[in-house]
Chains A and B, each alone.
Chain A
Amino acid sequence: MSSRMRLGYFLSETASNLRYNGLMTLASIGTVMVSMLVLGVFLLFNLNLKSTINEVSSKTRVCLYLKAEASGVEVDALKRMVEGLDGVRKVDYVSVDKARERLKQDMSGQADLGRIVDTAPLPASMEIEMVDTSKVASLTSVIKGQPAIDEIHYGEDIITTLNLIRRIVQIGGLAAIIILCLVTAFVIANTIRLTVFARRKEIRIMQLVGATDWFINWPFIMEGIFHGLAGSLLAIGIAAVGYTWLVKNWPLTFIFPLAYNEQALLHISIALLVGGMLVGAFGSFSSVRKFLKALA
């Protein structure tokens, strides 16, 4: 039989499998849909958490307060050194005058304070913008002993917390994804088991007339893949509509806007699609294989 005809046979067998237990097919697709939807929500949450961390990170600056007696040469040397360090995006020098100017701006409208600002002893500083906030600790340890530096300030707590959340989400997310996929595969395996059971007489005859396991397997595996495909397509559709609505109606008062990165969303869709199909194939394969082994 040519491979085209074989494919035709498999497709028609798969279609008749799906027809035979329509209700179970719907239940199975529904389960895949729910699982993939949960997976999708998780991935979207992860995407937003990542973009939030990036946002916070890019706004987190390390501030070096300089000693009043530090010379221009020392300050220049320090600036060049910091600029050369790993994870640093930008270094800004803030002179005493500039610092005073800023403070004035911040306090504008509070007229009485203007005079205090003029006389306040503000230090000159250097503001470091980081590319990668996880490098802050190593950065501070390197520059700690520099003679021009009086004090080092940075949002230690926020950065540590954010990185901790990121770690927890990554590990927890991975565990959740694995568990979800296993549960989904289990549900599909059960549905396919019903199909297999409904067609056990045919399978029996196929075995007796000499059909190979591979030949018997394919229509069922394709059925599982179809469940996965249909379920994840539905999940993608629901997630897309829901997320678009959320993005449009997201209150602007929130600190960070929802991430709407088309490429990332495409990746999530592909992940759901491939995930659903793999889970479907895996579920049905394990089910049919068990059955064939028991029979032969």
Chain B
Amino acid sequence: MIAFQGVSVVYPNGVTALRDLDLKIEKGDFLFLVGPTGSGKSTILKLIYREEVCTSGRIIVAGKEITGISRRQIPYLRRGIGVVFQDFKLLPRRTAWDNVAFALHVIGVGRTEVKRQAAKALDSVGLLHKADALPTELSAGEQQRVCIARAIVNNPVILVADEPTGNLDPDTSWDIVQLLSRINVKGTTVIMATHDRSIVDRMRKRVIALQNGRLVRDEDKGAYIGEL
């Protein structure tokens, strides 16, 4: 599904974000990216939806090499990838429903289809009853669920989450991860960057640990801190 081959990212100011990374993620995987701030977790996620471009190496997403694709092809790549952020990035003046429907509107989906899919997505995160609420009227956990609904409304094959529980209390965090896990069970590949030790330890999923832009650990049923 996703492959990184010898990928390095060096910023113009000389900072190296990733060094010679080799990584393979299979279809239907659930994967945690762990490591200290600045270790390269976010960079990996951004490379997948081509927010960033690697300095060297090859990246393959959904069977397609994306290293050299043109600007015009990027939107079509992103339609297959859902993105969830720590700060939700919801539009404050639009209702939960509008925030989810927006993602379909802007890629040219017809009105009936928008209605059907938005309802389905909001229902799957358990927020159909709050469709008319503005983000400010929702709790942080609910806002994150709207963000997830927006990310999955287009039935992406890959879901990328950058510290989605960073702003949430432990119980709500656990709910969110359970939600992501349910999405994963339906076949979507989920990649989640996190600092949340208890979640990683409880989930027992594949863990990739990074340090200074290098992959230092890759375990199938791993924990937040490596077992010796």
Q: Does B38 contact A (CB under 8 A)?
A: no
Residue contact A209 to B110, C-beta cutoff 8 Å: no
**Interface: B216 (CB within 8 A):** no
Question: Does A72 interact with chain B (Cβ within 8 Å)?
Answer: no
Q: Mark A191-216, 1 if CB is under 8 A from B, else 0.
A: 00000000001101111111111011
Q: Are A209 and B150 in contact (CB under 8 A)?
A: yes
Q: Are A205 and B103 in contact (CB under 8 A)?
A: yes
Residues facing A in B138-175 (CB within 8 A) are 150, 154
Interface-facing stretch out of B26-34, B69-77, B188-196, B202-210: B69-77
Chain B positions within 8 Å of A205 at CB level:
89, 91, 102-103
Q: Are A209 and B74 in contact (CB under 8 A)?
A: no
CB nearest neighbor in A for B82: A209
Q: Are A208's CB and B83's CB within 8 A?
A: yes
Is A9's beta carbon under 8 Å from chain B? yes
Whether, in the assembled complex, A81 has its beta carbon less than 8 Å from a beta carbon of chain B, the answer is no
Number of B residues near A (Cβ < 8 Å) is: 24
Contact indicator B106/A209 (Cβ below 8 Å): yes
CB distance from A274 to the nearest CB of B (A): 30
- Is B105 touching A9 in the complex (CB atoms < 8 A)? yes
Contact of B108 among A1, A204, A207, A213 (CB under 8 A): A1
- Given contacts A202-B91, A209-B79, are A1 and B103 in contact (CB under 8 A)? no
Residues from chain A with a CB closer than 8 A to the CB of B76 are 210
Which residue of the partner chain A has the closest CB to B50?
A296
Residues of B within 8 A of A296 (CB): 71, 74
Output the residue of A5, A9, A210 with the most chain B CB within 10 A. Answer: A210
Chain A residues with Cβ below 8 Å from B111 are 1, 5
Say if the beta carbon of A6 comes within 8 Å of chain B. Answer: yes
Give the distance to chain A from B147, nearest Cβ to Cβ, in Å: 10
Contacting residue for A204 out of B74, B77, B89, B103, CB 8 A: B89
B71 proximity list for chain A (CB < 8 A): 213, 296
* A210 touches which of B51, B75, B150 (Cβ 8 Å): B75
Residue A2 at the B interface, CB < 8 A?
A: yes
- How far apart sit A133 and B101, CA to CA, in the bound complex (Å)? 69
Q: How many A residues face the partner with a CB closer than 8 A?
A: 20
* A5-B111, A204-B89, A205-B89 known; A212-B75 Cβ under 8 A: yes
**Bound-complex Cα distance A71 to B184 (A):** 112
B109 touches A209 (CB 8 A): no
Would you list which residues of chain B between 84 and 143 have a CB under 8 Å from chain A?
89, 91, 102-103, 105-111
Least CB separation from B71: chain A residue: A296
With both chains docked as a complex, state the minimum distance between the C-beta of A160 and any C-beta of chain B, in angstroms: 57
Q: Is the CB of B78 within 8 A of A209?
A: yes
Task: Tell whether, in the assembled complex, residue B110 and residue A2 are in contact, meaning their CB atoms are under 8 Å apart.
Answer: yes
B4 interface residue, CB < 8 Å from A? no
Instruction: Decide: A210 and B78 in contact? CB cutoff 8 A.
Output: yes
Chain B residue at minimum C-beta to C-beta distance from A199: B91
Choose one: A2, A5, A201, A210; the contact of B89 (CB below 8 Å).
A201
- Find chain B residues with CB under 8 A from A206 CB: 102, 106
User: Does B49 reach chain A (CB closer than 8 Å)?
Assistant: yes
A202: nearest chain-B partner, CB-CB: B91
Given A202-B91, A296-B74, A209 contacting B103 (CB threshold 8 A): yes
B225 to chain A, nearest CB (A): 32
Instruction: List the B side residues contacting A201 at CB < 8 Å.
Output: 89, 91
B89, B91, B102, B108: which contacts A215 (Cβ < 8 A)?
Answer: B108
Asked whether, in the complex, the Cβ of B72 is within 8 Å of the Cβ of A212, the reply is yes
* B154 close to A209 (CB less than 8 A): yes
Which single residue of chain B is at the shortest CB-CB distance from A211? B106
Smallest Cβ distance from B175 to chain A, in angstroms?
24
Is the pair A5, B110 in contact by a Cβ cutoff of 8 Å? Answer: yes
What is the CA–CA distance of A21 and B194 in the complex, to the nearest angstrom? 39
Complex contact B75–A1 (CB within 8 A): no
Contact in complex: B106, A208 (CB < 8 Å) = no
Report chain A residues within 8 Å CB of B78. 207-210
Q: Chain A nearest CB: distance from B62 CB in Å?
A: 13
Q: Which residue of A lies closest to B92 (CB)?
A: A201
Q: A205-B102, A213-B71 are in contact. List 14 more A-B contacts (CB 8 A).
A: A5-B111, A201-B91, A204-B89, A205-B89, A206-B102, A207-B78, A208-B78, A209-B154, A210-B75, A210-B76, A210-B154, A211-B75, A212-B72, A212-B75
Could you list 6 A-B pairs, sorted by A, with CB under 8 Å? A5-B111, A206-B102, A207-B78, A208-B49, A209-B79, A212-B72
Using a CB–CB cutoff of 8 Å, the interface residues on chain B facing chain A are 49, 51, 71-72, 74-79, 83, 89, 91, 102-103, 105-111, 150, 154
The 4 closest A-B pairs by CB, nearest first: A210-B79, A210-B78, A211-B106, A209-B103
- Which residues of chain A have a CB within 8 Å of any CB of chain B? 1-2, 5-6, 9, 201-202, 204-213, 215-216, 296
